[in-house]
Structure 1
Amino acid sequence: MTTTIDLSKYVSDAIEGKSELFTNASDQVWSFAETRFDEFQSAKLLIDVLEAEDFSVEKEVAGLETGFIASYGTGSPVIALLGEYDALADLSQKAGTAAYSPVTARGNGHGCGHNLLGVGALAAAVAVKDYLKDHPGTSGTIRFYGCPAEESGYGKTYLAREGYFKDVDAALSWHPHSMNAVMHGSSNAVIHGTFTFKGISAHAAAAPHQGRSALDAVELMNIGANYMREHMIDQARLHYAITNSGGFSPNVVQAEAEVTYLVRAPKTHQVRSLFERLIKIAEGASLMTETQMEFKYEGACANLIPNSTLEKVLYKNLTQFGVPQYEEEEYAYAKAIYETLPLQNKQEAEAMVGPQLAGVLTERPLPGFIAPFSDDKETFMSGSTDVADVSWNVPTAQCVTTTMAFGTPLHAWQTVAQGKSTYAHKGMLLAAKAMAATAIESILDPSIVAEANKEFKERLGGEVYDCLVPQDVQPPKRGA
């Protein structure tokens, strides 16, 4: 069996030898900046790379036009690497600058680093493929899951619902961050729904009595939702955006208006209950305004299930490779980005690491260490991720690596600006190495997969995956 040191060198050489391919692909996805379910150029680019690397690719899986699964190898264990490549609306930003400067007004931008995430997981898959090719007779299959719409729409939920992880033995993923660590914790489940109200237009001055305002219905729904916030558990979240206010003429009663909501809670049954209450509030707003209401599911995902067994192997490999070396120019750019952050962001970031470490990181905001791993207590993320739906079906582990300056908030222009930086590339390749080595170890050592699956069953305690997206809800199609 290959030793850990030999394996680390093999993986490092394999990924560094193709680093230009990976960094160029990441930068291209950054420039495409395609939002949920519309990642056609990004998906094609990743598919082209994978096919050139001898993967077989199944396209448009689970009804996802921009979803795919690339496979290499035969037999078990089957190891999944999860890739994302969707951007966010209204976050267009030029790269390499420390000043807000959109490329396109109201354009899209990779404010969560998914250009790095998808290609980093792809790089890991390629390294595992290279190992299997160089070691014929090794039983094992590596799969790269091309997962669209993580930000909203939740492509992995559809993949999980349709059974695409049933024969997988372990899954690995990562996320861009301002620190280096292996995650151990849970997250909020979420349901995303859009509510459309239809009323009757009329002249707001001459014949207001003839009109039935859809905008009034939206406003009343929002007021009701605000009152519901008072009667939710502390960790639950409720947020919205008015996506159609009914027009720009105040002297026309608005005949149609629309609002979209995200409802979050720590458990699937809790978020489902809250969403049902929200539907009742919408129905009440409809009754009060004599308008018609309809809603649709935009997507949903469950809460994360951690797996200490896989996480410990991932942490061992992350520390084996160690943090990258940074140039003074990289520290200078990170420092310039840090100076643009709002005071509250700085204070919260500094509070998380303590005053001594904060004093170092505020001056040189690229962490030169990997945070210690502990599974004594689960952390909790108030946000949501569709990696959770994978974790309900197969043991799953995730790491984060430094791709942005200390304290950088996600979903902000500063994240987009750093998305093509050299230190972002270094963080991406570090994550790829850690995941690739963990995947190969899991293939070579059956006890890892066996122990991870034993823990997985114990954590579920007899519970089964309960998909929050109804069976009759399908992913949207282009032009629909």
Structure 2
Amino acid sequence: MQNTEEVWRLVDSKKDEFVELSDRVWGMPELAYGEHRSAAEHLAMLEKEGFRVTREVAGIPTAVMGEAGEDGPVIAILGEYDALPGLSQEAGVAEPRPLPGDGVGHGCGHNLLGSAAMLAATAVKDWMAANGVKGRVRYYGCPAEEGGAAKGFMVREGAFKDVDIAISWHPASLAGVNEAVSLANTRIDFTFVGRASHAAAAPDLGRSALDAVELMNVGVNYMREHMPDGARVHYAYLDAGGIAPNVVQARAKVRYLIRAADLAGLNALVARVRKIADGAALMTETSVSTQVISAVSNLMPNAPLERVMHDNFERLGPPEFDDADRQFAEAIRATLSEEDIAAAFKRAGVPVKKDIPLADFIVPLEAKGDGGNGSTDVGDVSWVVPTVQARGATCAVGTPFHTWQLTAQGKSPLAHKGMVHVAKVMAGTAVDALRDPAVIDRAKADLAARTAETPYRSPLPADIQPPIAAMSRGV
């Protein structure tokens, strides 16, 4: 307890600098693999705080790592800083008001995510130095969580091979240990090639690649009735073949995002989608080729680390928001539907409380959510290193992510308070593991038991590299 409170005070002693870091990154939103300015800001802060810095981790230009300490166990704290397209928004206003520019915005709170993770790592570094504790704490600045699977590539290249435990978090409406449930997924581009012709004078000579894409989409839509519960399939046209309707489209491309509860289910579903694509090509007398863009594993739970993190949440209590925070949160909630608000509680597995604009409780550890699940490349880390994630309360309860409302709250005092709060939880979790080696032993045993029959196999094909150029352009 005393050591935990000491590291919490160390978090408070440097919180202002990291709040400023978060706000700077919010103001320079960059897409996956293109986070050059954001990564530079993180590198500068790591150097300022005295970390030993590694650039271009796993050969990725915007992946960074800072390490402090000597010998002992290695504690990794994971951060992110990529943004999303189409979510530009003025800060601090409760109405859609995009900023001038390219339309990119921090609609998932990764400006907060990276800053809080580094704040926690810095506090642990300072605590180890003050107490003469052996061990190493690492901050991993991980790019391209939004669809780029950077952590998966980092795992594949051995970036976490000597890590004992990993700690991370994500912004959320409510505070508590993140239930380790996510969907494995892959993104695959299907390119159809046919034959161009004059659509009026010689339509019989054409073979439409656009027809093939549309037939593929129809086939996948019919498959939806026969997929496992919880599986998801989404698609987007990357190339519809041109804008001239009097030309039979000779080339068309569609990107599919396929999700399933685990890697085995994902592989089976991908095989079915590929057969549908082959059938569409056969029907249209076109050819089809595929390229895997990225892939991530489902999250692996770790009960011992989840208990330690929850104990830190309970000791700390919920964030201390004030009336001004609640007033802004109410203004944001006025733009939301009742379904949005209820969904936040359903995902956390707790009863709906419509009268609270901001989190005023800690989600019980035993709560099991019944809402939809997304995907994260933290999943791949969790298969090779005992991993635990927090949810930090950084927005009005019910705020949907990947929306202008989330971007609008990204620099607000309430987001800053939630960020500092969760940094204390992560730092306390790390200190508890450093003080009691049995925590790490139990965490490793738990992971070994869960993976004994299904060892980790990267879902990334061995021959693909991070899609750095394409994704940084928003493709």
**TM-score interval, normalised by the smaller of the two chains:** over 0.9
* Secondary structure class of the residue paired with 1:306: coil
Letter in 1 for 2:362: I
Distance 1:354 1:295, change over 3 A: closer
Is the Cα–Cα contact under 8 Å of residues 268 and 466 in structure 1 kept in the other structure?
no
Is the Cα–Cα contact under 8 Å of residues 343 and 371 in structure 2 kept in the other structure?
no
- 1:270 corresponds, among 251, 265, 269, to 265
* Mapped partners of 1:104, 1:263: distance in 2: 33
Counterpart in the other structure of 1:243: 238
- 1:299 corresponds, among 294, 303, 306, to 294
Is the Cα–Cα contact under 8 Å of residues 82 and 147 in structure 1 kept in the other structure?
yes
Counterpart in the other structure of 1:171: 166
Q: Does 1:142 align with 2:133?
A: no
Counterpart in the other structure of 1:98: 94
C-alpha distance after superposition, 1:433-474 (max 9, x if no partner): 110111122112111101111112122233210110011111
* Mapped partners of 2:350, 2:62: distance in 1: 45
Counterpart in the other structure of 2:337: 342
Letter in 1 for 2:433: S
Which deviates more, 200-209 or 219-228? 200-209
* Mapped partners of 1:353, 1:438: distance in 2: 21
Is the Cα–Cα contact under 8 Å of residues 195 and 205 in structure 2 kept in the other structure?
yes
* Mapped partners of 1:116, 1:56: distance in 2: 23
C-alpha distance after superposition, 1:109-157 (max 9, x if no partner): 1111111111111111111111122233x21011111111111011111
Matches within 5 A, 1:450-469: 450-469=441-460
Q: Does 1:50 align with 2:36?
A: no
- 2:256 corresponds, among 248, 258, 261, to 261
Letter in 2 for 1:139: K
- 2:67 corresponds, among 44, 65, 71, to 71
Counterpart in the other structure of 2:83: 87
- 1:111 corresponds, among 107, 111, 129, to 107
C-alpha distance after superposition, 1:154-195 (max 9, x if no partner): 111111112222211111011100001112332211111111
C-alpha distance after superposition, 1:205-248 (max 9, x if no partner): 22222322221111111111112212211121111111221222
* Mapped partners of 2:154, 2:36: distance in 1: 18
Counterpart in the other structure of 1:366: 358
Counterpart in the other structure of 1:326: 321
State the Cα distance separating 1:21 from its structure 2 match: 1.1
Q: Does 1:426 align with 2:414?
A: no
Letter in 2 for 1:72: A
Letter in 1 for 2:314: T
Distance 1:317 1:77, change over 3 A: same
> Which ranges of structure 1 fall in alignment gaps of 5 or more residues?
none
> Which ranges of structure 2 fall in alignment gaps of 5 or more residues?
none
* Mapped partners of 2:260, 2:152: distance in 1: 17
* Mapped partners of 2:469, 2:236: distance in 1: 23
* Secondary structure class of the residue paired with 1:392: helix
* Mapped partners of 2:350, 2:429: distance in 1: 34
* Mapped partners of 2:201, 2:326: distance in 1: 65
State the Cα distance separating 1:332 from its structure 2 match: 0.9
Is the Cα–Cα contact under 8 Å of residues 8 and 321 in structure 1 kept in the other structure?
no
Matches within 5 A, 1:339-418: 339-349=334-344, 358-361=353-356, 365-374=357-366, 382-418=373-409
- 2:280 corresponds, among 281, 285, 296, to 285
Letter in 2 for 1:447: A
Letter in 2 for 1:195: F
- 1:35 corresponds, among 14, 31, 38, to 31
* Mapped partners of 1:450, 1:414: distance in 2: 42
Q: Does 1:186 align with 2:177?
A: no
* Mapped partners of 1:121, 1:355: distance in 2: 26
Letter in 1 for 2:43: I
* Mapped partners of 1:354, 1:339: distance in 2: 23
C-alpha distance after superposition, 1:282-329 (max 9, x if no partner): 122222222232211111111111111111111111222222322212
* Secondary structure class of the residue paired with 2:187: strand
- Number of corresponding residues: 471
C-alpha distance after superposition, 1:322-358 (max 9, x if no partner): 2232221211110010010134323434667899862
Q: Does 1:209 align with 2:201?
A: no
Letter in 1 for 2:363: A
Counterpart in the other structure of 1:476: 467
Counterpart in the other structure of 1:442: 433
Q: Does 1:152 align with 2:142?
A: no
Letter in 2 for 1:278: V
Distance 1:60 1:350, change over 3 A: closer
Letter in 2 for 1:287: L
Distance 1:191 1:350, change over 3 A: closer
State the Cα distance separating 1:105 from its structure 2 match: 6.7
Is the Cα–Cα contact under 8 Å of residues 240 and 260 in structure 1 kept in the other structure?
yes
